[in-house]
Amino acid sequence: MKVAATLTVNGVAYPVELHPGTSLLAAVRDVIGLTGAKEGCDDSECGACMMLLDGKPLNSCSYLALQADGREVTTVEGLATGDELSPLQRAFLDYGGVQCGFCTPGMLISATALLDAKPTPTEEEVRIALSGNLCRCTGYDGIVKAVLAVAGS
Ligand code: FES
Ligand code: FES
């Protein structure tokens, strides 16, 4: 049995019909078609699937889509303005925070949430905020530098 709901993602309302057990990640990727958020572990371990729900980061692989009905979901696609990258996205490129890119959408979401809550974080605060996002490529330093470069600007 499917249930009708409306998911609001990056400011656009999507009427959907979902099985009750569908994760928010599956709904956004497979039903709505926004594939920026990635499925890594599917078990709340890697952060690749991170989205903002009412401005707070969460692992969308472990959150039921129907629980997001009536709330605001933001994915990495919502960070840019048209073709214009956000300052944080640009900084990830400039500081070597992107290699294979698999972790990048989740990293950007976590960093966005941090900077929204605390515009001038310390390096330690950045590292703590990103501790739920795993990266197997960059060694993290470029990512942290990118966030600090944008902080307070
Ligand atoms: S895919 Fe969700 S935390 Fe890894
Ligand atoms: S850039 Fe490859 S996992 Fe982070």
C-alpha–C-alpha distance, residues 5 and 33, integer Å: 16
Radius of gyration of the CA atoms of the chain, in A: 15
Which amino acid residue places its CA nearest to atom 3 of ligand 1?
A: 44
| Per-residue model confidence (pLDDT) at position 153 | 65
The pLDDT assigned to 62 comes to 98
Ranges in the chain, pLDDT < 70: 153
Residue 132 Cα to ligand 1 midpoint, Å, equals: 9
- Which residues line ligand 2 at a C-beta cut-off of 6 Å? 98-103, 135-138
How far is it, in rounded angstroms, from Cα 28 to Cα 131?
24
User: What pLDDT, on a 0 to 100 scale, did the predictor assign at position 2?
Assistant: 96
pLDDT, residue 49, reads 98
Which of 51, 61, 109 gets mutated to test ligand 1 (max ligand atoms within 8 A of its CB)? 61
The pLDDT assigned to 148 comes to 98
Nearest CA to ligand 2 atom 2: 100
Query: What does DSSP say about strands 3-9 and 72-74: parallel, antiparallel, or unpaired?
Result: parallel
In this predicted structure, what is the pLDDT of residue 137?
Answer: 97
Decide: 40 in ligand 1 pocket, CB within 6 A. Answer: yes
Q: What is the pLDDT of residue 138?
A: 95
Give the neighbor-by-neighbor strand order of the sheet with 50-53: 12-18, 3-9, 72-74, 50-53, 56-59
70 phi, psi to nearest 5 deg: 85, 0
